[in-house]
Amino acid sequence: MPETENKEPETTELWNMALFKPKWWLPWLTFYYIDCPQYLSFRVFDRNGVKPFLFRFTDLADGKYIGVLCCVPRRRVHDFLACMEELQRVMYICGYNDYEEFCRKEQDRLEVDDADE
């Protein structure tokens, strides 16, 4: 197994999810990502064998999108990030043409909220 697989993700070009400040002692990382009410991410996770612990869903944009807070085991983070890349493509194919723009706005909102704390 290459050594790079065990490293923490530093930055990412993915705009449909956010990584919360990791605690070094926890065996998982917490992510927030944007999905649709049909839960297309579940299909992507299932196809790739990734099983994040999903524990909070937030209705966004009057029900067009949902925000999902989840935990991913550290050893599966790279697989999760690959699923997020695939989710971007699947959302576009399924007709969510404003997905990228919405995710960028949501990410900006999260960054502003973090700066206020």
Any domain includes 7: no
Identify the pLDDT of residue 10: 47
Any domain includes 101: yes
Q: Which residue range is the domain that position 64 belongs to?
A: 12-116
Give the Cα separation of 23 and 49 in Å (integer).
Answer: 25
The more confident residue out of 64 and 110 is: 64
Any domain includes 6: no
Q: Tally the domains of the chain.
A: 1
The CATH number for 70's domain is 3.30.70
Residue 100 scores a pLDDT above 60: yes
Any domain includes 3: no
Identify the pLDDT of residue 114: 61
Any domain includes 99: yes
Any domain includes 16: yes
Question: How many of the other CB atoms lie within 10 Å of CB of 66?
Answer: 18
pLDDT tens string 24-76? 778 889 899 999 999 999 999 999 999 999 888 989 988 999 999 999 999 99
Any domain includes 51: yes
Identify the pLDDT of residue 62: 86
Q: pTM for the complete prediction?
A: 0.77
Any domain includes 4: no
